Amino acid sequence: MGFRKKSKSPPVLSHEFVIQNHADMVSCVAMIVLLGLMFEVTAKYAIMFITVQYNVTQTLDTEDKPEPFSYYKYGPKDMATVFFYLLIAIILHALIQEYILDKINRRLHLSKTKHSKFNESGQLATFYSFSFIWGCSILTSEEFETNPTFLWEGYPHIHMAFQVKFFYICQIAYWFHALPELYFQKVRKEDIPRQLYYICLYIFHITGAYVLNLHRLGLVLLVPHYLVELLFHASRLFYFSDENKQKGFTLWALLFVITRLLTLTVSVLTFGFGLSRTDNQGFSLAEGNFNVLTVRMTCLSAICLTQAWMMWKFINFQLKKWREQSQIQANKKKAVSPKSRPSKKDSREKRTLTTHRQTRQNRLL
């Protein structure tokens, strides 16, 4: 882990050395980019990594006098900006892990399974809370109306405000940074497929909304989704600190289903009715217009399949949890009456069942 002092250093450039010092190494790369701003020869390249590119200034005609205002487009140079903020995300990840999560872990004395999931939930809860607040501030700003028709009116939405573009740059950078973190955090092999699924889904959907000029729809769908995910990971953090605190999962289950229905409703409304009835129909890379039937149906199918997969995972999770609760109730009914003294064999079986039950519950969460 980066920023950590070790009494015995591993061999240079070994796997353990890279894992322990990856944040320091990434910090050096980010510092080199920042130092490029000091020299005139390299400044034009360094600024491409740090600042948001493709600024477009237009003049707004008003009654008094024309007022200039700036918007942003997307382009290939955005990959450089995403790379730089990917480095920043790795550094912040290491800081949160080192100075917050590791200290809490040492106090709680969690098992290896709980320790890994506690770190995952701690990192994601921090990111979801920050993104949710940021997304709400964008949606409540002046350029976004309460009328749902703003999702498709005026498409293609090639012009983005600074906050909108920077939000998408940071989102894409964060989820790309999650891929090398699987190696840096020594994620267990059995947890890697599960994390890869949702990381790749985030990258696919967020990048798709950004490239297809559907950033308005993407924001509207991301904000409630991040709220639900924030509630789940916050509930899991409370559960790991005290196993009796499980009320948050009930609220999460209710909001999860509502959010899935909301996502499907807004997506069908946008692709099935809104974009299909706009005047600007056609496919043009130069104009950023992707309003054709094939693209609309592909986007709608991708969203529907993702929501169906999430609901399938959710139903399986609830069924397993219900079976665990049923088994607990059945074991209580079979409990020995107070008048009869339980044998040593029964006590051993009861302890074994309790241990297995706690293990299965931890795996579910």
232 vs 246, higher pLDDT = 232
289, 294, 298, 299: CA torsion to nearest 10: 30
Helix then strand then coil, % of the chain, to nearest 5: 70, 5, 25
**What is the C-alpha separation between 300 and 295, in angstroms, rounded?**
9
Q: What is the mean pLDDT of residues 334-363?
A: 57
Q: Give the model confidence (pLDDT) of 212-239 as tens digits.
A: 999 999 999 999 999 999 999 999 999 8
In percent, the amount of the chain with pLDDT more than 70 equals 86
- DSSP label at 101? I
- Within 10 Å of residue 309's Cβ, how many Cβ atoms? 12
Write down the pLDDT at residue 69.
77
CA distances from 246 to 115, 118, 280, 321, 361 (A): 18, 15, 50, 12, 12
**What is the C-alpha separation between 311 and 252, in angstroms, rounded?**
13
Q: Which of 183, 205, 204, 219 is nearest to 93 (CA)?
A: 183
pLDDT surpassing 90 at residue 173: yes
Write down the pLDDT at residue 125.
96
Residue corresponding to tokens 């703003």: 150
pLDDT surpassing 70 at residue 192: yes
pLDDT surpassing 90 at residue 35: yes
pLDDT surpassing 70 at residue 354: no
227 vs 347, higher pLDDT = 227
- CA triplet 92, 199, 197: central angle to 5 degrees? 150
pLDDT surpassing 60 at residue 54: yes
In this prediction the pTM is 0.88
233, 25, 206, 122: CA torsion to nearest 10: 0
Q: What is the mean pLDDT of residues 183-212?
A: 94
**What is the C-alpha separation between 39 and 33, in angstroms, rounded?**
11
